[in-house]
Structure 1
């Protein structure tokens, strides 16, 4: 069995038509996206620029070494003889000894005649294999200049060939610049920037959440006000602060509440005025008919007048249901006394057709008169849609939310509730086709729902098609209740009541608890002669 609040549920938002993420989070998410995009672009741009600088610096180092070697070869003198060099071997010895290589530079001297090579390197420059198995060394011998990846960076080189008269002194000098150390330093700097950017993003997110919360606070107040607005209280207004867009929205919201309150007050006054204006003439007409002989025509006319009066009373009750003072809850109501009163009420409506399942004992906080009104509507609904015996149940129960409390329900042996009827059973002005039976005003079970709502309770319907229906309300207990159940329940059967073949609430396959359901629905007093009432012509409008 499914239990829902007796008031209709609010319309759910369409998850497809709009976002489900709160506006504050969406604002912060977009802000973080823009900041992250900016920081990422900055980091990528900085790294690209610095990598280009490293490459240009490496090229400049190589070009400088080549130019320096060329100048030394053309103008240098042997420090031993103070004469120009006569041997390339001596030239390279003096050149190598006088070089101040940086930590990323290296020089290779290769003798073409012997195939031997020697390397002079800076502190962090790697030492090459200098054999034919070293692909980098072979590549440098094949190309006078170039660049290739090496380690975490790259190596750039250029070589100068020195060809003296003697073939044994044919040398090539390869100058190299390695960028790995500078690339490692750059990467460390970039990772530091990434860490700082992450901290900036976190700080931006926290500050953004706080700022967005502050900016959107009026919208949250607006939402809370809209959620708290009901027909019982349309007096709440939001303070207007500032002259921004949110202040304008707040003004419009307050104006909407003003219009709603005006419309609701006008509707309420109209119903109350209509009740006053129409009840008087109806009472006069009924009094005149009462003074005439009780012919069939007179009885039918009086029955129609009673039906009109009942509709007016129902409309007035529904209008009052929108007010906070609709129900006057009285503490320490004796449930057993209430049960006897309700039994007397329904028995007077159709003598001999009722059995009673009375299992509740103790005290509760209830509005006795409203519960009598609700029980009368439930009884009329059952009489309208069932010719057989009926059962009034007053017993402790548990609703679909797990709340224990008091159940008041009526079970009939009518045609039951169709699946399609479940959606509108407790709605206003709804009718079911009950095998040609007269239909009521469509207000009775709506009033039952309003009374259940005033007690913070639920309404429910249990039925199997063709096997009758059980319709009732459940009122949850609070801390002031002292409710108990008889383990040996007293089922009081009216003398003229046949044994019931109804489907019980525990085994009925078709259940609707608190949802708008089937064709049972109507409402109030029935002043027709007993013969008409005994045939179930009570003006209810659904199909049980």
Structure 2
């Protein structure tokens, strides 16, 4: 019985790994996947360590804080887990059913053996004759001697003869039947003398018996004949077979898992390609399409995905063309209006109108820049750009915006691969942002740096001495059409720092803001170096 429990436990144990995988599928709760914008590194108003910040829409939709329930286990593993669960359940059920059926057969066979021996003994006692006298037996002892001499016991059978007159017991056994302790101290022997038939566990199996009484009314001739059948040898053979089935089932499970994993991976490969394509889609490249193979539901999904990309590309191209056409259509009248105002005497009203026209033109230019930033050809980095010459060019640009307020902190030497015109545009927006936050001096810094990913490169930043950035400003600083609290200066359209971010993206770089309350702010971008760069450190201050 202990072996039976062990085999059942092992069969159930085969289901444990699969059950755990299925439980993980039902119980796993994971957050939804975030978008993958370019990284932004911000430091809050307390200063200190740079903190990554991901892009947030300028008008964020309401977002649920509840986690998304679902499984984090890959689909192919879940498919294989379910398949293994069904196969393992079937194999375990088969093993348990086979063993239960065969154990019942062994018990029935043992009962049949005992019943057959009892019937033979009863028939022999009723009709047998003594071969010496050719007459019916007159002694039960002589009857049993003749009966046992002619009896062929199987390996698992045994016969006990107990003489009530003498209190002696003898046993005749087959080859594999055990010999009992035929004394009053043997509980099994005592139980057999007390019960006419029965069954009890013995060894790895059980023993079944039946007792026949010969001449019970004659004390001198009274014999108790106990016929027994032991099942241990057959149970041992059955257990060996069951263990073999368990081993084969385990091998079948392993083979099923390997083959199932390969088949599931092959079937789900188009979905993997679909996921890869979806992850690679950006506004800079909507041209990727997936090949459609077959006519099944996955092929239909691929066709729908390609159709979605077609619609996205058409909508994006239409939006881009609209912005560029609007820039062209509006810039012309604005330029003509500015020319007419320039020909008039420069009164205060005229100057204000020309300034407003200039602001409108700058907004149009910024919108055009942001639209072009979505294209792969937005930036054209040039190799071997001298960092010192770049610094002088950028300093001249910002000096033209606010003469006498700038100092240069140049701590980099060498050459780099950069788009100078885009960096001039980014620096102009950084300078304009700094000028909006007070009338104090500003510093243009160009220095070697390391970004939040551990990449070395070049930093271009502007530091002002204004009131610093509020926490809310930090959260939205580089988004489109957002405004911080300007320190008494004019508010822009909220596009300048978004363009800085787009230019950083075009160089595979990052943007950052460092601010301490009441101590100004430093806003800039970091561009990672590649193998074509040759930068060294060196400090130079200028104004």
State the Cα deviation string for residues 162-214 of structure 1 (Å, max 9, x = none): 12664122110011111111111111111111111111111111111111111
Partner SS, residue 403 of structure 2:
coil
Q: CA deviation at 1:438?
A: 3.4
- Specify whether residues 240 and 7 from structure 1 end up closer, same or farther in structure 2 by C-alpha distance, changes over 3 A only: farther
**Distance in 2 (alpha carbons) for counterparts of 1:337 and 1:539:** 14
SS in 2 for 1:67: helix
Q: 2:458, 2:333 → 1: CA distance?
A: 40
User: Do the aligned residues in 2 keep the contact of 1:282 with 1:305 (CA within 8 Å)?
Assistant: yes
Partner of 1:34: 86
Post-superposition shift, 1:113? Answer: 2.7
1:174 counterpart residue number: 226
Task: Tell me if structure 2 keeps the 8 A contact 1:109–1:173.
Answer: yes
Which has the higher mean CA deviation after the structures are superposed, 251-260 or 421-430?
A: 421-430
Q: 1:292: Cα distance to partner?
A: 1.9
* Corresponding residue SS for 1:169: coil
Indicate if the aligned counterparts of 1:27 and 1:212 stay in contact, CA closer than 8 A: yes
Q: Which blocks of at least 5 consecutive residues in structure 2 are unaligned?
A: 1-52
| Kept after mapping to 2: 8 A contact 1:164/1:170 | yes
Contact preservation (8 Å) 2:412, 2:538: no
1:394-429: per-residue Cα shift (whole Å, max 9, x none)?
010111111111000111122222333333221112
* Structure 2 CA distance for aligned equivalents of residues 245 and 45 of structure 1: 40
Q: Structure 1 residues 536 and 93, CA, compared in 2 at 3 Å: closer, same or farther?
A: closer
Match of 2:407 in 1: 355
Q: Is the contact made by 2:412 and 2:537 (CA closer than 8 Å) also made in structure 1?
A: no
Report deviation, 1:393. 0.5
Shift of 1:284: 1.1
In the alignment of these two chains, the number of paired residues is 491
- Tell me, what secondary structure is at the counterpart of 2:526? strand
How far off is 1:76 after superposition? 1.0
Pairwise CA distance, 1:150: 1.1
Question: In structure 2, what is the Cα distance between the partners aligned to 1:161 and 1:104?
Answer: 22
Displacement of 1:328:
0.6
Whether the 8 Å CA contact 2:378–2:506 is kept in 1: the answer is yes
Tell me the distance in 2 between the aligned counterparts of 1:260 and 1:166: 109
Q: 1:362 to 1:371 in 2, by over 3 A?
A: same
CA contact (8 A) 1:279 1:309 kept: yes
CA distance in 1, matches of 2:536, 2:63: 36
- CA distances 1:486-507 after superposition (whole Å, capped 9, x unpaired): xxxxxxxxxxxxxxxxxxxxxx
The DSSP-based 3-state class of the residue aligned with 1:168 is: coil
After superposition, the Cα gap between the structure-2 partners of 1:12 and 1:378, relative to the gap in structure 1 and judged at 3 Å, is farther
Alignment correspondent of 1:265: 317
- TM-score normalised according to structure 1 size: 0.85
Which segment is superposed worse, 143-152 or 288-297? Answer: 288-297
Counterpart CA distance in 2 for 1:121 and 1:142 is 21
Q: Residues 119 and 541 of structure 1: is their aligned pair in 2 closer, same or farther, counting only changes over 3 Å?
A: farther
Cα deviation 1:334-355 (Å, max 9, x = unaligned): 0100000001111111112112
Given the alignment of the two structures, is residue 398 of structure 1 paired with residue 450 of structure 2, yes or no?
yes
Match for residue 27 of structure 2? none
Deviations 1:431-458 (A, max 9, x none): 2233665322111111111111111111
TM-score between the two structures when normalised by the length of structure 2: 0.85
Task: Say if 1:15 and 1:32 are closer, same or farther in 2 by CA, change over 3 A.
Answer: farther
How far does residue 2 in structure 1 lie from its aligned partner after superposition? 11
Instruction: List alignment gaps of at least 5 residues for structure 1.
Output: 482-534
The answer as to whether partners of 1:438 and 1:539 remain within 8 angstroms in 2 is no
User: CA 1:6 to 1:311, structure 2 compared with 1: closer, same or farther past 3 Å?
Assistant: closer
| Superposition deviation, residue 365 in structure 1 | 0.4
Distance 1:475 1:9 in 2: 32
Deviations, residues 356-394 of structure 1 (Å, cap 9, x unaligned): 110110000000000000001111111112332111100
Q: 1:320 to 1:333 in 2, by over 3 A?
A: same
Residue 536 of structure 1 corresponds to which residue in structure 2? 535
Q: Quick check: 42-51 or 227-236, which moved more?
A: 227-236
1:316 and 2:368 matched: yes
Kindly tell me: are residues 273 and 538 of structure 1, through their superposed partners in 2, closer, same or farther at Cα, counting changes over 3 Å?
farther
Secondary structure of 2:436's aligned partner: helix
Q: 1:539 and 1:469, CA in 2 relative to 1: closer, same or farther beyond 3 A? A: farther
Distance in 2 (alpha carbons) for counterparts of 1:277 and 1:379 = 29
C-alpha spacing 1:539/1:335, structure 2 compared with 1 (3 Å): closer
Relative distance call for 1:271 and 1:447 in structure 2 (3 A) is same
Q: Equivalent residue for 1:250?
A: 302
Secondary structure of 1:155's counterpart equals strand
Aligned to 1:110: 162
Tell me the alpha carbon deviations over residues 51-90 of structure 1, each in whole angstroms, 9 at most, x when there is no partner: 1100100000000010011011111111222211111111
- Structure 2 CA distance for aligned equivalents of residues 161 and 230 of structure 1: 97
